[in-house]
A and B are shown apart, each in its own frame.
Chain A
Amino acid sequence: MSGALLVEGLTVQYGGVKPLDEVSLTFESDVCGLIGPNGAGKTTFFNALSGFAAPASGSLTMAGTDLLAMNPAKRARWGLRRTFQQEQVIHTLSAWDNIRLSSEHTGGGRTAVERAVDFVGLEGLDRAGSALSMLERRLVEIAKTVCGEPRLILLDEPGAGLDAGETERLIGLIRRIPEEFGALVILVDHDMDLVSTVCGTTAVLDFGRVIAVGVTAEVLASAEVRRAYLGTVELEETA
């Protein structure tokens, strides 16, 4: 396995706004969840990890490597992979080329592409990206992240736009990533079924701060987390 990701005092500041405020977390292994209401700072956290948001303070280290010392492309070559909320499949390239694109810049090679394709079980590789269904696009995205030697994979709402059956297939794949590729996976999603099924541990952000972290089932049952998601009024009504 790639080792733990240590996040210490991570703060991202845009003027007077702090999307992330002194976030300290340790992601140990396997698949970890990161949840929170809209605007909680989840995507900013991913952006800081992948180099698209420059932290005002704090540190990010994994396997003894200071991630902040590298630009986004170097982090990708080091082994950090990510997906975005908006899927990034290139319509004019074939499915195969979409996956190969990731591999050829991160040192994976042809074998890595074939292994990734085999892993996600994608067929019809010569079809253009524009001809792929939403599930197939998500599979291409997953294949891109596992190409080469991934160490840290950030999945930003990978289940968006999928129906229940398709999400089941995605769940199976995500759960197998750590075992098959040795990478630590951090998953952001609003689908609590997906998070609770896939993630052993989960952290919760609210207004840029960590409000809970621990075993997923316990975190999701926490009153503070339910308040952050549902709001105080709804909680009182439920009680």
Chain B
Amino acid sequence: MTAVPQRSSRIAVWRAEKLFTVRNVALAVALIALFTAGPLVLGAYWTRIVTVSMIFAIAAAGIALLYGRLGLVSLGQVSLIGVGGWITLRVGHATELPFELVLVVAAIGTGLIGVLVGLPALRLSGLNLAIVTLMLAGAFEVVFNVTGFPNGGDGFLGRAQGGVLQQPLPRPVLGTTDPDYFRYVLVVSILMFLVIALHLSNRPGRAWAAIRQSEAGALAAGIGTVRYRLWALAVVSATTGVAGGLLAANAGLLDPISFKASQSILLFATVLIGGAFSLLGAAIAGFLSQGLPPLLDAWGVNGNLIFVILGLGMIQAITTAPQGIAGQLKGLATRLRNRFTQGRSR
């Protein structure tokens, strides 16, 4: 077995090369630039829009994980944002905990609820699962409409009747102004993306890929498919709960109208268009779902046309670009890199 050490060292070099790629370095530089200069360049209005886009990008990353890696169609993710928001508002009003700890509580609570309502995913897949999750999203929509979101009142629901008594949840200490909250959300979003990326590139991600490829093949490889499906649901629900917490703190209040079942469909569509097989696609999806309508408004086009535009985008993605915009961008980058390296070698 003399070849083993050579192979091991080759693999170590290969891993280091993977970590410090041009792409990763460029991404780090871009994120630092966004952190420092983003609010200055964007201005007040677009800073708020991009902040919400980043929050929805976290939920989109969860959808991408479920669909792109496990093959599960979940049409209830916006409801889970609502659950995370509800828990954040309720715990935030009821305790003196720092906002970061409230976010942790929201993540754990939403993770548990997500696993509970996602149990059908253990038995269902494809269209059946899509319909079940959509119906659950409808059920959450009704519940949110009936209970409303906590606004500083008493009782389990934490509702204060009357506008005067309503108390918005204060933003975290590190993000009281819009530019600071932009940066705060950017950092938390990066952390959530890292959580998902670490899962994707390690043991759970490989197990999920095997389950997507073939349930029988996964079992034959010794993978506990039920455990790993539950794990995926927990991770996705927890990160989506954090997104809900960030959204709740953004304005301090939440409105049930923001958590309609149709919003979940919209978000899923943007993930398909953005690219369900990469986190870049999720980031694009976050902007498409929250940034595109105001962008259309800014161009003098009715923002409600988003459904038509995303419908056309989905047709285009499904028929010609299954990897989404992210896949097309990656293809373009590969072509440019190849052209550049060929040019240098001449």
Map CB proximity to A onto B210-223 as digits: 1 under 8 Å, 0 otherwise.
10011011011111
Q: B277 near A105 (CB under 8 angstroms)?
A: no
Q: Which residues, 141 to 175 on A, are CB-close (under 8 Å) to B?
A: 144
The stretch among A2-10, A58-66, A81-89, A213-221 that forms the contact with chain B is: A81-89
Are A81 and B220 in touch, CB under 8 angstroms?
yes
Identity of the chain B residue whose Cβ is nearest the Cβ of A80 in the assembled complex: B220
A114-B213 Cα distance, complex, nearest whole Å = 24
Chain A stretch 95-111: residues in CB contact (< 8 A) with chain B? 96-97, 100-102, 104-106, 111
Q: Contact between B219 and A101 (Cβ–Cβ < 8 Å)?
A: no
Of the listed residues A50, A92, A97, A115, the one surrounded by the most CB atoms of chain B closer than 10 A to its CB is: A92
Partner of A92, one of B203, B220, B222, B277: B277
Whether, in the assembled complex, A209 has its beta carbon less than 8 Å from a beta carbon of chain B, the answer is no
User: In the complex the two chains form, is B206's CB within 8 Å of A72's CB?
Assistant: no
Contact with B along A49-70 (1 / 0, CB 8 A): 0111000000000000000000
A117 adjacent to chain B (CB < 8 Å): yes
Instruction: Give the residues in chain B near A77, CB-CB below 8 Å.
Output: 222
Assess whether B340 is interfacial by the CB under 8 Å rule. no
Cβ A105 vs Cβ B7 within 8 A: no
Cβ-based interface call for B224 (8 A)? yes
Any A CB within 8 A of the CB of B263: no
Does A97 contact B14, Cβ atoms closer than 8 Å? no
Instruction: Give the secondary structure class of B's interface.
Output: helix
- Chain A residues closer than 8 Å to B216, beta-carbon distance: 52, 72, 84
Number of interface residues of A (CB under 8 A): 32
Which of B4, B210, B219 is packed against the most chain A CB atoms within 10 Å? B219
Smallest CB-CB separation from B224: which chain A residue? A73
Looking at chain A's contact residues, the main secondary structure is helix
Interface size counted on chain B using CB atoms at 8 A? 24
Option from B14, B209, B222 in Cβ contact (under 8 Å) with A105: B222
A167 to B249, CA, bound (A): 63
Q: Is the CB of B7 within 8 A of A50?
A: no
Asked whether A118 lies within 8 Å of B203 as measured between CB atoms, the reply is: no
Q: Is the CB of A51 within 8 A of B219?
A: yes
Instruction: Determine the chain A residues whose CB is within 8 A of the CB of B3 once the complex forms.
Output: 118
Q: Is B225 an interface residue (CB 8 A)?
A: yes
Inter-chain CA distance A101–B209, complex, in Å, is: 10
CA of A126 to CA of B222 in the docked complex: distance in angstroms? 23
Partner of B225, one of A50, A73, A92, A126: A73
Q: Chain B nearest CB: distance from A157 CB in Å?
A: 15
Q: Are A73 and B223 interface neighbours, CB within 8 A?
A: yes
> Can you list 27 A-B pairs with a CB-CB distance of less than 8 A?
A51-B219, A52-B216, A52-B219, A72-B219, A73-B219, A76-B220, A76-B221, A76-B222, A84-B214, A88-B220, A90-B206, A90-B209, A90-B213, A96-B11, A97-B206, A101-B206, A101-B209, A105-B221, A105-B222, A105-B223, A106-B222, A114-B4, A115-B1, A115-B4, A118-B7, A125-B11, A125-B14
Which 4 residue pairs of A and B lie closest in terms of their CB atoms, listed nearest first?
A76-B222, A105-B222, A88-B217, A72-B219
